[in-house]
Every structure is written in C-alpha cells, then in structure tokens.
Amino acid sequence: MQQPLDDRIESGMNKRETVSALADGQLCGEAFAQAVRWALDDAEGRQAWRDHHVVGDLLRSTDLASRRDGDAFVARLRERLAQEPAIRPVVVQEPVVAELPPLAVARDSANASVFRWKIAAGCASLAAVAALAWTAAGPLLQEERSRPQLAAVPASSSANPGMVAVANADGQMVIRDPRLDELLMAHRQFGAASALQMPAGFLRNATFEEAGR
C-alpha cells in the first residue's frame, strides 16, 4: 500500500489533493502519517496546507475577502476555466418537477434588509389567506338554501347616481346608497353593544369599514 501512495504524493498534480484529503480527515493509518510528513517537511506541502486553510476561511467569511481586484480575478478565473478540459455532460433522466417545494431552512434571506421585499412578502401571505378564504367561502355560498328571501332593488330603478353595488349574503349584487352607508357606520359606532365586542366585535367594526365614508 505504501508504494501507490508515495507515487501519488510524488506526482505534483495530486499533492494538493492529498493535502485536501488530509485536512478533511479522509486519510488514516500509513497514508495519514505520510501525508503529515510531507505537509510538514516539504516546502510545497506546507504552502499547500496554508493555501487550503486560507481559501477555506475566505469562503466561510466575507469579511476577510479583499474585494479590490474583483474584476481581474473574474477575468483570470475565466481564462483558467477555458483552459480546463471540456467535460461532456452526462444526460441523466430526471423526473419532471412542476414546482420545487420551498426549502425549510431557517436563515436570513439575502433580501431581508430590503423593506420592499418585506412588504411584498406580507402581501403574498395576505393573498394566500385570501385564496384560502375564497376556497372556504365557496362551499359556504353553496350551502345556503331556503334562507329568508332578501328583496333586491330592481336594476331598472337604479338610475340614482352615487349608488354603490355590494354583494349581499346570497351573493347577489344589490345597489346600496351612501346614506345607508352612513347609518351603517353609526350602527357600528354606537349600536355595538355586545359581550363579544372585545376584542372581536370592535376589531371587526374597525376592519370591516367599507369604502366611501
């Protein structure tokens, strides 16, 4: 077993890989001892060890990275990549996934500090609630049967300007006038005498105010 390892260490291409394997704890026994000896004694080995750890620290901490010559670095990287032998992509049959499930990772997202995204996230969750409520309200509307008939104002007499159409409990669109809105508001303000007022009743009245005060 010794000989193949020595050969590996001697060949320059794999020296750095050996150091990497040593740092990752993948070597053991004789191979480990040999790699340690090489990392200590050989100048190239020591350099490889230092490089390995510097790169690791840089990758794990953005503070240490010097960003001064970022563009030059990218240019150099591109050159090196171009020099690498082209690898033919292996075709793998993957099941078609329509949508990836959200990752359940608890960490700050990159846009956590941008307020606009927080608003967007809030609106998205509200839209989700609305969607759920809409699905829930669907069967509710269908269940209504033989309720006392609510008189609907005939459409022909709705020539009055300023009338606001609203859906009543049967789902019909009925014309309502601003005067009624005013009284409704008065009822909510002064006529709300209920043991269930706090907190649900008061909050419901404060939330459920229609447009056109």
Partner 1 sequence: MHPAAADPSRRLCFGMAAAGLGWMALPAGIALAAEAEVKPAAQRDLRDWLALVQEASRRRSYTGTFVVMSAGGTLSSSRIWHACDGDQQFERVEALSGPQRSTFRHNDRVVTFFPEERVARFERRETLNLFPNLLQSNGAALPEHYEARVAGSQRVAGFDAHVVDIRPRDHLRFGYRIWSEKRTGLVMKLQTLDSHGTVLEQAAFSELAIDVPIKIDRMVRMMEDTAGYRIEKVEPPKTTPEQEGWTAAAAPVAGFTAMDCYRRPARAPRPGASGAMQCVFSDGLASVSLFLEPYDAAQPPKEQALAVGATHTLGMRLDGPWWLTAMGEVPQQTLRAFAGRFVRTR
Q: Where on the chain is the footprint of partner 1 (CB under 8 A)?
A: 126, 129-130, 133-134, 136-137, 140-141, 143-148, 150-151, 153, 157, 166-171, 174, 176-180, 182-184, 186-187, 189-204, 206-211, 213
Tallying the residues shown for the chain, one arrives at 213
CB of 119 to partner 1, least distance (A): 11
* 54 versus 128: smaller Cβ distance to partner 1: 128
Q: Give the nearest distance from C-beta 80 to partner 1 in angstroms.
A: 51
Burial zone of 113 (CB within 10 Å; 0-12 exposed, 13-18 middle, 19+ buried): exposed
Cα–Cα distance between 139 and 170 in angstroms, integer? 13
Prior bond of 161 cis (ω within 30°): no
Minimum distance of partner 1 from residue 202's CB (angstroms): 7
Burial readout 37-61 (b: 16 or more C-beta within 10 A, e: otherwise): ebbeeeeebeebbeebeeeeeeeee
Write down the least CB distance from residue 127 to partner 1, Å.
10
- CB-nearer residue toward partner 1: 40 or 167: 167
